[in-house]
Amino acid sequence: MTVELNERFARLARAVAVERDKSAFAQLFDYFAPRIKSYLLRLNMQPQEAEELAQEVMIVLWHKAGLFDPAKSSLATWLFRVARNRRIDALRRDRGKDLDAEDPSLLPSAPEAPDLVMDAEQRDERVRRAMSVLPTEQLELVRLAFFIGLSHSQIAEETGLPLGTVKSRIRLAFGRLKKALEDDPRIDTDD
């Protein structure tokens, strides 16, 4: 997730906390609720339970957005931590199920190794440099598709561009990104 996107989510969360901004909340809900549900499904929750828990996490955001501190974590990290904790609470409440001490969702997340953090930061910087060569219209479509998560059809609807134009510009953007990554000696493409 880009710094720009994290900042956008932090602004939206602040608007929810300070102004009870329903539009800001709707944007955060549309982005995070399906991702949280998907995360919970990967943890072997039943679809209905995952849906309910994802909605519960979003209710926490509505009521407790003021507790989110962007200096400590991204909104995504905060929300997924809430989801993880709520899942643990749900498992504890459900006396019919025994907690499995080996369940990865019950174990605290290990901090990332410093070399992995550094590699990720370098990779992110390389991608930012490569993306700086894109024309504005291509950069915006890439942002909508890969950072906001819109489908090509949704992008076409939002921008008013024909679907074929959206697909074509994204394909051209990837060609330019590939060339920029290959041509920049500071960008290691062997990963």
The range of the structural domain enclosing residue 142 comes to: 114-183
pLDDT of residue 144: 84
Domain membership flag for residue 189 = no
Find the CATH number of the domain harbouring 149. Answer: 1.10.10.10
User: Average pLDDT in the 31-52 region?
Assistant: 90
Assess whether pLDDT exceeds 50 at residue 146.
yes
d(CA 176, CA 191): 18
- Residues present in the chain in total: 191
User: Greatest CA span in the chain, whole angstroms?
Assistant: 59
Which has the closest alpha carbon to 8: 147, 123, 140, 136? Answer: 147
* 46/82 same-domain check: yes
* 98/124 same-domain check: no
d(CA 65, CA 67): 5
User: Average pLDDT in the 43-67 region?
Assistant: 91
pLDDT of residue 95: 55
* 59/120 same-domain check: no
* 10/101 same-domain check: yes
d(CA 131, CA 153): 23
**Structural domain total, the chain:** 2
pLDDT of residue 132: 87
User: What type of residue sits at position 178?
Assistant: K
For 78-108, b where at least 16 C-beta lie within 10 A, e where not — what string?
Answer: bbbebbbebbeebbeeeeeeeeeeeeebeee
* 75/164 same-domain check: no
Residue 145: Cβ within 10 Å count: 19
Domain membership flag for residue 135 = yes
Last residue of a domain, one of 43, 72, 106: 106
d(CA 56, CA 120): 32
Last residue of a domain, one of 58, 75, 106: 106
Residue 152: Cβ within 10 Å count: 16
* 58/95 same-domain check: yes
pLDDT of residue 158: 83
* 153/119 same-domain check: yes
Task: List the structure tokens of 70.
Answer: 């962007």
* 102/13 same-domain check: yes
pLDDT in tens, 93-120: 765 455 566 677 667 777 777 877 788 7
* 46/139 same-domain check: no
CB 11 within 8 A of CB 78: no
- In this prediction the pTM is 0.51
